[in-house]
Structure 1
Amino acid sequence: MKLIAQSENIEDFLDSNYIYVDKTEYIYNLTTNYKRVFFSRPRRFGKSLTLNTIGTLFEKGVDPYFKGTWIYDKWEQDKYPVLHLSFLEYSATDLEVFKRSLCQPLRDFARLNKITDYTDDTEPGNLIRNIFTVMPDQMQIVLLIDEYDRQLTANINNPEMYEMFRICIRDFYGALKGKKQIKFMAVTGVTRLKDVSIFSVGSDIKDLSYNNAYSMLIGFTRDEIKQFYLDYLKLGATYENDITPENVNDSEIENLIDRMAAHYDSYSFDEFNKYKVFSTYSVNGFLQDIYEKKTVRFGDYWYDVGGLPSILLKYMESLNLNIENLLTSEIAIPYNDFANPTSLIDINENVLMCQTGYLTLKSEIVSGYGVTLGPANREVRTALFLLLSLKIFDTNTPAFGLTNRYVIEKGNVEEIICLFNEVLSALSYDKYPVNDESVLRALLQVYLLGKNHDVRIEQHNSKGRSDILINFPKRRVVLELKYATEEKEEKIKLAEAEKQIMDKGYGLENLGDRELLQIACVFNGDKNKRQITMFKKV
Structure 2
Amino acid sequence: MKLIAQSENIEDFLDSDFIYVDKTEYIYNLTRNYKRVFFSRPRRFGKSLTLNTIRTLFEKGVDPYFKGTWIYDKWEQDKYPVLHLSFLEYSATDLDAFKKSLCQPLRDFARLNKITDYTDDTEPGNLIRNIFTVMPDQMQIVLLIDEYDRQLTANINNSEMYEKFRICIRDFYGAIKGKKQIKFMAVTGVTRLKDVSIFSVGSDIQDLSYEFSFSNMIGFTRDEIKKFYIDYLRLGISYEMDKSSEEITETEIEAFIDRMATHYDSYCFDKKYRNKVFSTYSVNNFLHSIVSDKEVYFGDYWYEVGGLPSILMNYMESHNLNIENLLTSEIEIPYNDFMNPTSLIDINENVLMCQTGYLTLKSDLDPNDNVILGPANSEVKSALFRLLSLKVFKKNTSPYSTGKKYVLEQGSVEDIISLFNEVLASLSYDKYPVNDESVLRALLQVYLIGKNHDVRVEQHNSKGRSDILVNFPKRRVVLELKYTEKSNEEQIKLAEAEKQIKEKRYGLENLQDRELLQIACVFNGAKDKHQITIFKQIT
- The TM-score bracket by the shorter chain reads over 0.9
| Number of the residue aligned with 2:316 | 316
How many corresponding residue pairs?
538
Shift of 1:135: 1.0
| Number of the residue aligned with 1:152 | 152
- What is the TM-score of this pair, normalised by structure 1? 0.98
| Number of the residue aligned with 1:16 | 16
| Number of the residue aligned with 1:411 | 411
Cα distance in 2 for partners of 1:395, 1:263 equals 27
| Number of the residue aligned with 1:30 | 30
| Number of the residue aligned with 1:272 | 272
In the alignment, residue 457 of structure 1 is paired with which amino acid?
V
Contact 1:91 1:151 in 2 (8 A): yes
| Number of the residue aligned with 1:293 | 293
In the alignment, residue 510 of structure 1 is paired with which amino acid?
N
In the alignment, residue 226 of structure 2 is paired with which amino acid?
K
Shift of 1:405: 5.0
1:64 correspondence with 2:64 = yes
| Number of the residue aligned with 2:335 | 335
Contact 1:45 1:281 in 2 (8 A): yes
Report the 3-state secondary structure (helix = DSSP H, G, I; strand = E; otherwise coil) of the residue aligned with 1:69.
Answer: coil
In the alignment, residue 75 of structure 1 is paired with which amino acid?
W
| Number of the residue aligned with 1:118 | 118
Report the 3-state secondary structure (helix = DSSP H, G, I; strand = E; otherwise coil) of the residue aligned with 1:84.
Answer: strand
Shift of 1:254: 1.4
1:230 correspondence with 2:224 = no
| Number of the residue aligned with 1:239 | 239
Name structure 1 gaps, 5 residues minimum.
Answer: none
Question: Which segment is superposed worse, 366-375 or 68-77?
Answer: 366-375
Shift of 1:99: 0.6
Shift of 1:397: 4.4
> What are the residue-to-residue correspondences of 1:251-262 with 2, within 5 Å?
251-262=251-262
Report the 3-state secondary structure (helix = DSSP H, G, I; strand = E; otherwise coil) of the residue aligned with 1:224.
Answer: helix
In the alignment, residue 289 of structure 2 is paired with which amino acid?
D
1:134 correspondence with 2:157 = no
Mark the CA change 1:402 to 1:329 in structure 2 (over 3 Å): closer, same or farther.
farther
| Number of the residue aligned with 1:502 | 502
Cα distance in 2 for partners of 1:251, 1:395 equals 45
- What is the TM-score of this pair, normalised by structure 2? 0.98
Contact 1:399 1:422 in 2 (8 A): no
Q: Could you report, residue by residue, the CA deviation over 1:483-532 in whole angstroms, capped at 9, with x for unpaired residues?
A: 12222222221121111111111111112222221111111112222111
Mark the CA change 1:401 to 1:509 in structure 2 (over 3 Å): closer, same or farther.
closer
| Number of the residue aligned with 1:212 | 212
Report the 3-state secondary structure (helix = DSSP H, G, I; strand = E; otherwise coil) of the residue aligned with 1:480.
Answer: strand
Q: Could you report, residue by residue, the CA deviation over 1:183-202 in whole angstroms, capped at 9, with x for unpaired residues?
A: 10000000000000001111
> What are the residue-to-residue correspondences of 1:399-478 with 2, within 5 Å?
405-478=405-478
Shift of 1:378: 0.5
Spell out structure 1 runs of 4+ moving beyond 4 A.
397-405
Shift of 1:227: 0.5
In the alignment, residue 324 of structure 1 is paired with which amino acid?
E
Q: Could you report, residue by residue, the CA deviation over 1:150-205 in whole angstroms, capped at 9, with x for unpaired residues?
A: 01111111111111111111111011111111110000000000000001111110
Cα distance in 2 for partners of 1:75, 1:298 equals 39
Contact 2:146 2:187 in 1 (8 A): yes
Q: Could you report, residue by residue, the CA deviation over 1:417-459 in whole angstroms, capped at 9, with x for unpaired residues?
A: 1111111111112222211111110000000010111111111
Shift of 1:138: 1.1
Q: Could you report, residue by residue, the CA deviation over 1:266-317 in whole angstroms, capped at 9, with x for unpaired residues?
A: 1000001111100000000111111101111111101101221111111110
Report the 3-state secondary structure (helix = DSSP H, G, I; strand = E; otherwise coil) of the residue aligned with 1:21.
Answer: coil
Shift of 1:402: 8.5
Two-structure CA RMSD over aligned residues (Å):
1.3
Question: Which segment is superposed worse, 4-13 or 111-120?
Answer: 111-120
| Number of the residue aligned with 1:375 | 375
Cα distance in 2 for partners of 1:314, 1:391 equals 11
Contact 2:441 2:468 in 1 (8 A): yes
| Number of the residue aligned with 2:173 | 173
Shift of 1:118: 1.0
| Number of the residue aligned with 1:523 | 523
| Number of the residue aligned with 1:163 | 163
In the alignment, residue 481 of structure 1 is paired with which amino acid?
L
In the alignment, residue 364 of structure 2 is paired with which amino acid?
E
Shift of 1:404: 6.6
Contact 1:458 1:466 in 2 (8 A): yes
| Number of the residue aligned with 1:388 | 388
Report the 3-state secondary structure (helix = DSSP H, G, I; strand = E; otherwise coil) of the residue aligned with 2:240.
Answer: helix
Question: Which segment is superposed worse, 512-521 or 439-448?
Answer: 512-521
| Number of the residue aligned with 1:491 | 491
Cα distance in 2 for partners of 1:402, 1:252 equals 36
Cα distance in 2 for partners of 1:162, 1:337 equals 20
Q: Could you report, residue by residue, the CA deviation over 1:58-92 in whole angstroms, capped at 9, with x for unpaired residues?
A: 11111111111111111111111111000000011
